[in-house]
Structure 1
Amino acid sequence: MNAVVKDVTDADFETAVIERSREKPVVVDLWAPWCGPCRQIAPVLERLAEERAEDFELVKINVDENPQTATALGARSIPLVIGFKDGEVASQFVGVQPPAAISQFIDDLSPSEIDRLIAAASAESDNDAAKTLLQQAINLDPQHAGTRIAIAKLLMSEGNLDDAREVISKLIANGDEAATQLMTRMSLQEAGAIDLATLQATAEAEPYNLDNLILLGRALASTQDYEPALDQLLAAVRKNPGYNDGEARKAIVDILKVLGNGHSLTRVTRTRLARLIF
């Protein structure tokens, strides 16, 4: 496969497509090995992905191997090509299209100057340089949601959570989903300030210490170890579902907000949680 093309599965769709598209447009090519028309458009998409790597990323999803994502995206006929931008579907087409039409499809998705600045800041390893780029983006549009979220993420990486919250406070008030997820992630990061090794040692010595299990779950989530974090919190729910006003269940809900509805862990955890509660 072309080096600029990535295979995406049910497990990483949320991260590789939804989250990534908040920084850079992502084009999803839903295909199957038996699909002749899919083989006709693939070279065109791959050539454009190589020529216009700064404008978008191309991912491929095998509908036979990833039925959950295929169903969620409404792939009743393939090839189905969907363009994602800012975490949402921006445009799509079904079937074979002439190269000129596919090129225009990419043109319509191409990032604005603000989008380019955000992408450059995201790729920048020097925080000061990243801040300079994001300040340029803010100057172009002070209320741009993507810029504010990028600034909040940068502040969060520096441990400056109060300023990060302030930057996205208006977005939260307006119900912005990405900002809400980021706010939840900040809460999880704060929980991670407690020494992880101490929490793990206590969990082994005192397996029925529910306060410790909940803290351990949140601390693991703060390092993005989501699966073991959910295991600890589900263990707390299993021992006492209503403990401290359902604190473990609330912590699970917080993590699932960060993961998003499309993540495989979200689906599995909701099923496990329902079995424990009901």
Structure 2
Amino acid sequence: MSQFHFDVSLEEFESKVLALAQEVPVVVDFWAPWCEPCKTLKPLLEKLAEEYAGRFLLAKVNADESPELAQHFGVRSIPTVKVLFQGQLVDEFTGALPEGQIRAFLDRFALPPVAGSNPREEAAELCANGQFEEALAKLIEASRAKPEDQAIQLDAVEVLMHLGRNDEAGELLGGEYSQEVDRANALRARLALTAGAADTAEIEARLAANPADHAARLELSRAYAAQSRFREALEAALEVVIRDRSFDEGAGRKAVLQLFEALGGSDQYDDLIREFRRKMSAALN
């Protein structure tokens, strides 16, 4: 049992949800055993409840066992998520959303983090300030305290890659990440991009002399990606799609999709991916 997520029935709803929701937002997940999307959403919400560590609570309602609650809250399809706080319904959504969208949803109402309470958030703040060595030390300490937490280990992989310590990152990624499969695969794909390291200035000069050199533009995209300059990498690959979508059997499109795969495991790149998905769709239509 967890202190941050729990099952709740009609009889317990007032004490477990309404009373607690006066002090902390309570996310109510209406699910059912037969519901396939619920099998994706419920464990994801449980993982995030643990990660947010009390900034919200997760109450899980089996709609088959508590139909009165589902009817009271106007639940018409499963899964449905409702958020209660201080006597109000403050937000809701229906269906199984991607993790990045759920995080954005939670961040709209979750209580602010308590200083020092979440090492992953502290490490993220250090990274935002360019303090990667300090962030890595924080994550190593946190991983020793919670060796079963694969998210912390993958955070450390990302920091190692920022520091250019790709061999160490590769060693960490050699393990199994059954709880974080998609993110681990995305980081492996991103690590593979570092093999494209090259002198960007030299390639840029070649392109300036011959803007129609699509092979050079794709080489430049790989070089940018190796330096974690992902927007520039996407722009270069997309430019090939725009100029000649059939070049080298669609190599430009394949390069863009490879970048999407490599960036897909990190919430920080969700907006960038959405932006370039729209741009590529426009280029191909």
Q: Which runs of 5+ in 1 are unaligned?
A: 1-20, 29-72, 94-101
**Aligned residue number for residue 222 of structure 2:** 218
Q: AA paired with 2:277? A: R
Aligned 1:41-60 pairs, distance under 5 A: none
**Aligned residue number for residue 267 of structure 1:** 274
Secondary structure of the 1:142 match is: coil
Question: Cα offset for 1:172?
Answer: 5.8
C-alpha separation between the residues in 1 aligned to 2:184 and 2:241? Answer: 28
Among 227, 232, 255, the alignment partner of 2:259 is: 255
C-alpha separation between the residues in 2 aligned to 1:158 and 1:200? Answer: 25
Secondary structure of the 1:80 match is: strand
Secondary structure of the 2:152 match is: helix
2:152 counterpart of 1:141 = no
Q: Identify the structure with bigger relative contact order (alpha carbons < 8 Å, sequence gap 6+).
A: 1
C-alpha separation between the residues in 1 aligned to 2:114 and 2:208? Answer: 52
Question: Cα offset for 1:110?
Answer: 7.3
**Aligned residue number for residue 154 of structure 1:** 159
C-alpha separation between the residues in 1 aligned to 2:82 and 2:222? Answer: 35
Among 183, 189, 201, the alignment partner of 2:205 is: 201
Aligned 1:160-239 pairs, distance under 5 A: 160-171=165-176, 176-191=181-196, 193-239=197-243
Q: AA paired with 1:266? A: I
Q: AA paired with 2:182? A: E
Question: Cα offset for 1:252?
Answer: 0.7
| Greater displacement, 159-168 / 256-265 | 256-265
Question: Cα offset for 1:206?
Answer: 1.7
Going from structure 1 to structure 2, the CA distance change for 1:207 and 1:147 (only over 3 Å counts) comes to: same
State which structure, 1 or 2, has the greater radius of gyration over its C-alpha atoms. 2
C-alpha separation between the residues in 2 aligned to 1:178 and 1:249? Answer: 22
Q: AA paired with 1:217? A: S
**Aligned residue number for residue 5 of structure 2:** none
Q: AA paired with 1:274? A: S
Q: AA paired with 1:162? A: D
Among 244, 248, 252, the alignment partner of 1:240 is: 244
**Aligned residue number for residue 33 of structure 2:** none
C-alpha separation between the residues in 2 aligned to 1:231 and 1:205? Answer: 19
Question: Cα offset for 1:158?
Answer: 2.8
| Greater displacement, 174-183 / 203-212 | 174-183
Are 2:204 and 2:220, in contact at CA under 8 Å, matched by a contact in 1? yes
Question: Cα offset for 1:131?
Answer: 4.7
Going from structure 1 to structure 2, the CA distance change for 1:172 and 1:219 (only over 3 Å counts) comes to: farther
C-alpha separation between the residues in 2 aligned to 1:155 and 1:147? Answer: 12
Going from structure 1 to structure 2, the CA distance change for 1:250 and 1:219 (only over 3 Å counts) comes to: same
Question: Cα offset for 1:277?
Answer: 4.0
Going from structure 1 to structure 2, the CA distance change for 1:243 and 1:162 (only over 3 Å counts) comes to: farther
The CA deviation string for residues 127-180 of structure 1, in whole angstroms up to 9 with x for no partner, is: 2x5555433333333331122112212321332213212212335676623323
Q: AA paired with 2:91? A: L
| Greater displacement, 204-213 / 247-256 | 247-256
C-alpha separation between the residues in 2 aligned to 1:132 and 1:272? Answer: 39
Secondary structure of the 1:152 match is: helix
Going from structure 1 to structure 2, the CA distance change for 1:152 and 1:263 (only over 3 Å counts) comes to: closer
Q: AA paired with 1:216? A: L
Question: Cα offset for 1:78?
Answer: 7.5
The CA deviation string for residues 61-101 of structure 1, in whole angstroms up to 9 with x for no partner, is: xxxxxxxxxxxx999x984389xxx85748989xxxxxxxx
C-alpha separation between the residues in 1 aligned to 2:105 and 2:199? Answer: 47
Are 2:116 and 2:122, in contact at CA under 8 Å, matched by a contact in 1? no
Are 1:199 and 1:212, in contact at CA under 8 Å, matched by a contact in 2? yes
Are 2:218 and 2:240, in contact at CA under 8 Å, matched by a contact in 1? yes
Are 1:172 and 1:180, in contact at CA under 8 Å, matched by a contact in 2? no
Q: AA paired with 2:169? A: A
